[in-house]
């Protein structure tokens, strides 16, 4: 963490921390603009931009047409002018109409123009399931983003990280896709959908400085140290897997990747070489998921340290179901089964 | 029509699917006699602040200034000085000389690809001349006239076309995908119409900063079918963005005639109507009409009166690119019978009618510009041509993916350099 102004901590949930990051950046940099569907007067369907328009004015924080191609395309042009746009895509599931502007334009503008033009844009978007959102409000498209060359992909797992990473993303001179795990906006998730939600205020990471601080992109965090195996996780699954390993009294080392691209390969390598076992977990569909990339990297770099095959715990290769959501979700049973398997050899 | 399992017996008439078909194919005798050519002074020029719904007729008419005898007439006449007209003529002639030379260079195997804008020179040259120098242009791929009209060094264009060691884009882009920020020229994408919402974003940024510069953007009638076009017009009308939309309706998108973009049903300018923005349909082969329309739209944008969509009604006289043979899908004589003639010939005729130009000066200028292009070409070729030697250091392949190179690209770069060393030996350097 680096901070240039010492400010008091405040208890924030993830939404408040994300809101605070944008508030700080709108205040510090007159080129920052926040825009998206319902983000202005109303403050966003998840309230992430609540109060920002009133405070910073309508030309800095405003609503857009329901047109993701336009939102991202317009942001590319704003970046070319010299602004630092922070567009919101209301749900990650809606990003596809804007994907050409992201893949072919935002991501490649620096390269194709040899840095004549850059795209310092941060696309914020809530992703992931566990909220009964059905197949159009639950997807986890992170591996689509990491497959684009020229885009950084960031996924926070708690309020403190969310603010520091979002500020770093906004200050970054390259396009960043900032995926917000919406299941944990209001509190960390244990994986037991039938238990009451624990609020962030009971979690240490809800203590968030009110001012400016950055968490460097590309740096993972060790959430739990352990010797038995390494778990590579991000977003919601950090909390789910932590609950399960603690219940099962497995001495797992949990690495919260925080940034998928650029990836903190050193942290991964050091941990897996220490534990000799690696479990990769994500909520996204399995085939060609980011877990496949992680498993390949671990195998390439740590093969002679491995005592068991790399195990993947993921969502299934189906659209995200509505009523059967909890049969889809990589929850306690799936995680426990994988842990048993990887630890038995 | 055969009865199928899918079509139960019914008294209703069968539906039929319309697949557009151009009127003339190779071997047919084309006739453009049905194209309505309104009188040159038939179109009134509304004030730049006119509400879009009070000027809808301009979406369906045709703004003209030059008649076919070389006289400038009517309310739209921008009344340019002879000096300015000669400059315009010179730029258009330079574009044509450049195109001819670069087309030939591709045919000689000096580069992979080229795109001419023959017959459409006015749509970028005259348009750019009506803008302020600080206004930002978001071109498609056939607007080399913007760079020429802003005096961008020809050698830099050629270096880009040859991907040689003078190419400031490091040989990364297909020929003609220029980028020139100092000349208000946005990086050409190669994906179609993506620049449309980007231009709107630039214009919105300019407006939000209280700047006085406007944005202008070009696409073809074919790519006006892209979703990006409609996204852009939606954002532009919502935010009243200071932007000029140019649709260069040159009748052909590779082999697809304008009917595949909706041209059989209405004009392209008429798309402005649905968005509630100003629309102008103009003779794109009339440089003075292009200038006047752009000037009108620029004044409108600059005074916060909103965006304008300009349809440049023109004709693509040559192939889509060096990879295209238009005689395979349209009659070879179509370009020669286009009722609006050639923009260079028309401006020349106008200047001659004014007594400000003559055949001798024209010929001298043509030769001079050809020589200029040829001399510049020789200088550029000294810096290399595509496929003859490697002109960029290998590691440039990995630069500018991000501002700072992350570890995975550093690793891949090292791998590639090792591969090249295995191939060429350790002492290899770019030419």
- For B168-209, the pLDDT digits (tens) are 999 999 999 999 999 999 999 999 999 999 999 999 999 999
pLDDT at B6 over 70: no
CA distance B376 to B370: 10
- For B252-311, the pLDDT digits (tens) are 999 999 999 999 999 999 999 999 999 999 999 999 999 999 999 999 999 999 999 999
Is A65 in contact with B198 (Cβ distance < 8 A)?
no
Does A116 touch chain B if contact means CB atoms closer than 8 Å?
Answer: yes
Residue B5's pLDDT band, with cuts at 50, 70 and 90, is low
**B238-241: long-range contacts, CB 8 A cutoff, minimum separation 24:** B238/A64, B238/A65, B239/B200, B239/B204, B239/B207, B240/B207, B240/B304, B240/B306, B240/B307, B241/B200, B241/B203, B241/B204, B241/B207, B241/B215, B241/B306, B241/B307
Q: Which conformational region is residue B309 in: left (phi greater than 0), alpha (psi within -120 to 50 degrees), or beta? A: beta
Longest distance between any two alpha carbons in chain B, whole Å: 82
Please list every residue in chain B whose beta carbon sits closer than 8 Å to the beta carbon of residue A33: 205, 208
Which pLDDT does position A327 carry in this prediction?
97
pLDDT at A332 over 90: yes
> Pick from A78, A104, A218: which is nearest to B205 by CB?
A78
**A270-274: long-range contacts, CB 8 A cutoff, minimum separation 24:** A271/A222, A271/A230, A272/A230, A272/A298, A272/A301, A272/A302, A272/A305, A272/A306, A273/A302, A273/A305, A274/A227, A274/A230
Which pLDDT does position A46 carry in this prediction?
97
Contact B144, B176 (CB under 8 A): yes
Does B233 touch chain A if contact means CB atoms closer than 8 Å?
Answer: no
DSSP string, B79-95: ---HHHHHHHHHHHHHH
Does B189 touch chain A if contact means CB atoms closer than 8 Å?
Answer: yes
- For B108-167, the pLDDT digits (tens) are 999 999 999 999 999 999 999 999 999 999 999 999 999 999 999 999 999 999 999 999
Q: Please, which residues 64-93 of chain A have a Cβ atom closer than 8 Å to chain B?
A: 64-65, 67, 69-70, 72-83, 85
Question: Is the pTM above the cut of 0.90?
Answer: yes
Tell me which chain A residue has its CA closest to the CA of residue B239: A64
Q: What is the DSSP letter of A82?
A: T
A305 is catalytic: no
pLDDT at B7 over 90: no
pLDDT at A7 over 80: no
Is A174 in contact with B402 (Cβ distance < 8 A)?
yes
pLDDT at B4 over 80: no
Tell me which chain A residue has its CA closest to the CA of residue B237: A65
Question: Residues A56, A137, A203, A212: which is the catalytic one?
Answer: A137
B370's tokens: 């050809």
Please list every residue in chain A whose beta carbon sits closer than 8 Å to the beta carbon of residue B187: 109, 112-113, 116-117
Mean pLDDT within B360-386: 97
pLDDT at A4 over 70: no
Does A99 touch chain B if contact means CB atoms closer than 8 Å?
Answer: no
- For A52-105, the pLDDT digits (tens) are 999 999 999 999 999 999 999 999 999 999 999 999 999 999 999 999 999 999
Contact A91, A320 (CB under 8 A): no
Q: Residues of chain A with pLDDT > 90: what percent?
A: 97
pLDDT at B2 over 60: no
- For B75-109, the pLDDT digits (tens) are 999 999 999 999 999 999 999 999 999 999 999 99
Q: Please, which residues 275-334 of chain A have a Cβ atom closer than 8 Å to chain B?
A: none
Please list every residue in chain B whose beta carbon sits closer than 8 Å to the beta carbon of residue A101: 194, 197, 228
Mutate to test the interface with A, among B138, B181, B400 (most CBs of A within 10 A): B400
Does A33 touch chain B if contact means CB atoms closer than 8 Å?
Answer: yes
pLDDT at A1 over 70: no
| Between B388 and B85, residue with greater pLDDT | B85
CA distance B307 to B300: 7
Please list every residue in chain B whose beta carbon sits closer than 8 Å to the beta carbon of residue A80: 136, 186, 198, 201-202
Beta bridge partners of B137: B185, B216
Mean pLDDT within A210-216: 98
Which pLDDT does position B366 carry in this prediction?
98
Is A117 in contact with B187 (Cβ distance < 8 A)?
yes
Which pLDDT does position A6 carry in this prediction?
63
Tell me which chain A residue has its CA closest to the CA of residue B198: A77
Which pLDDT does position B389 carry in this prediction?
80
Is A81 in contact with B206 (Cβ distance < 8 A)?
yes
Residue A197's pLDDT band, with cuts at 50, 70 and 90, is confident
- For B51-81, the pLDDT digits (tens) are 999 999 999 999 999 999 999 999 999 999 9
Tell me the pairing of strands B136-138 and B215-220: parallel
Is B173 in contact with A265 (Cβ distance < 8 A)?
no
Nearest Cα of chain B lies from the Cα of A123 at a distance, in angstroms, of 15
CA distance B260 to B254: 11
Tell me which chain B residue has its CA closest to the CA of residue A30: B209
Which pLDDT does position A3 carry in this prediction?
52
pLDDT at A263 over 90: yes
Nearest Cα of chain A lies from the Cα of B410 at a distance, in angstroms, of 12
Tell me which chain A residue has its CA closest to the CA of residue B399: A111
Tell me which chain A residue has its CA closest to the CA of residue B407: A262
């Amino acid at each position: 963490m680096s901070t240039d102004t010492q400010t008091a901590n405040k208890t924030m949930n993830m939404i408040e921390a994300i809101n605070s990051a944008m508030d700080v950046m709108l205040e510090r940099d007159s080129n920052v603009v926040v825009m998206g569907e319902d983000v202005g007067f109303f403050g966003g369907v998840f309230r992430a931009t609540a109060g920002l328009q009133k405070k910073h004015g309508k030309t800095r924080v405003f609503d857009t047409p329901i047109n993701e191609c336009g939102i991202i395309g317009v942001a590319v042009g704003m970046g070319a002018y010299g602004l630092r746009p922070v567009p919101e895509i209301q749900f990650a599931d809606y990003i596809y109409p804007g994907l050409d502007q992201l893949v072919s334009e935002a991501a490649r503008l620096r390269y194709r123009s040899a840095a004549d033009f850059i795209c310092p844009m941060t696309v914020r978007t809530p992703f992931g399931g566990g909220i009964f959102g059905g197949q159009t409000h639950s997807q986890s498209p992170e591996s689509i983003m990491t497959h684009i060359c020229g885009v950084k992909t960031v996924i926070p797992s708690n309020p403190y990280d969310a603010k520091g990473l979002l500020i770093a993303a906004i200050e970054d001179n390259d396009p960043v896709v900032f995926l917000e795990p919406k299941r944990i906006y209001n509190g960390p998730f244990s994986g037991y959908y039938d238990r009451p939600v624990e609020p962030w205020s009971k979690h240490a990471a809800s203590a968030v400085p009110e001012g400016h601080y950055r968490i460097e992109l590309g740096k993972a965090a060790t959430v739990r140290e352990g010797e038995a195996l390494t778990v590579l996780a991000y977003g919601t699954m950090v909390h789910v897997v932590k609950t399960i390993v603690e219940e099962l009294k497995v001495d797992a080392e949990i690495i919260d990747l925080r940034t998928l691209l650029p990836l903190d390969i050193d942290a991964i390598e050091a941990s897996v070489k220490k534990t000799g076992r690696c479990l990769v977990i994500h909520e996204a569909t399995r085939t060609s998921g980011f877990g496949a990339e992680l498993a390949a990297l671990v195998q390439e770099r740590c093969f002679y340290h491995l005592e068991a095959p790399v195990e993947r715990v993921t969502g299934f290769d189906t659209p995200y179901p509505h009523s059967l959501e909890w049969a889809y979700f990589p929850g306690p049973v799936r995680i426990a089964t994988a842990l048993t398997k990887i630890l038995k050899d | 029509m055969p009865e199928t399992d899918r079509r139960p017996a019914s008294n209703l008439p069968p539906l039929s699917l319309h697949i557009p078909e151009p009127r003339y194919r190779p071997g047919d005798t084309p006739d453009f006699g049905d194209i309505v050519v309104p009188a040159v002074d038939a179109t009134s020029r509304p004030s730049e602040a006119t509400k879009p719904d009070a000027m809808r007729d301009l979406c369906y008419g045709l703004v003209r200034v030059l008649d076919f005898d070389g006289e400038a007439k009517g309310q739209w006449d921008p009344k340019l000085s002879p000096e300015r007209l000669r400059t315009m003529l010179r730029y258009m002639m330079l574009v044509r000389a450049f195109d001819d030379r670069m087309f030939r260079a591709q045919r000689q195997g000096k580069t992979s690809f080229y795109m001419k804008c023959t017959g459409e020179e006015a749509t970028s040259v005259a348009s750019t001349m009506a803008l302020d120098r600080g206004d930002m242009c978001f071109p498609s791929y056939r607007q080399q006239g913007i760079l020429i009209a802003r005096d961008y060094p020809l050698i830099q264009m050629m270096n880009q076309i040859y991907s040689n060691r003078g190419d400031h884009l490091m040989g990364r882009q297909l020929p003609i995908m220029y980028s020139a920020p100092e000349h208000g020229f946005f990086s050409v994408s190669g994906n179609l119409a993506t620049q449309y919402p980007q231009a709107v974003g630039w214009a919105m940024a300019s407006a939000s900063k209280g700047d006085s510069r406007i944005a202008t953007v070009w696409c073809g009638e074919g790519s006006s079918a892209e979703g990006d076009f409609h996204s852009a017009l939606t954002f532009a009308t919502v935010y009243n963005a200071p932007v000029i939309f140019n649709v260069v309706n040159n009748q052909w998108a590779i082999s697809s005639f304008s009917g595949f973009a909706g041209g059989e049903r209405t004009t392209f300018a008429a798309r402005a109507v649905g968005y509630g923005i100003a629309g102008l349909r103009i003779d794109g082969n009339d440089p003075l009409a292009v200038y006047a329309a752009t000037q009108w739209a620029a004044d409108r944008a600059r005074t916060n009166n909103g965006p304008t969509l300009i349809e440049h009604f023109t004709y693509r006289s040559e192939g889509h690119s060096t990879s295209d043979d238009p005689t395979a899908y349209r009659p070879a004589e179509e370009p020669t019978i286009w009722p609006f003639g050639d923009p260079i010939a028309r401006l020349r005729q106008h200047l001659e009618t004014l007594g400000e130009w003559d055949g001798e000066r024209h010929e001298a200028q043509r030769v001079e510009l050809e020589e200029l292009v040829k001399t510049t070409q020789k200088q550029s070729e000294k810096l290399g041509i595509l496929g003859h030697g490697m002109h960029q250091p290998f590691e440039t392949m990995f630069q500018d993916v991000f501002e700072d190179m992350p570890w995975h690209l550093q690793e891949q770069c090292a791998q590639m350099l090792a591969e090249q060393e295995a191939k060429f030996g350790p002492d290899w350097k770019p030419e």
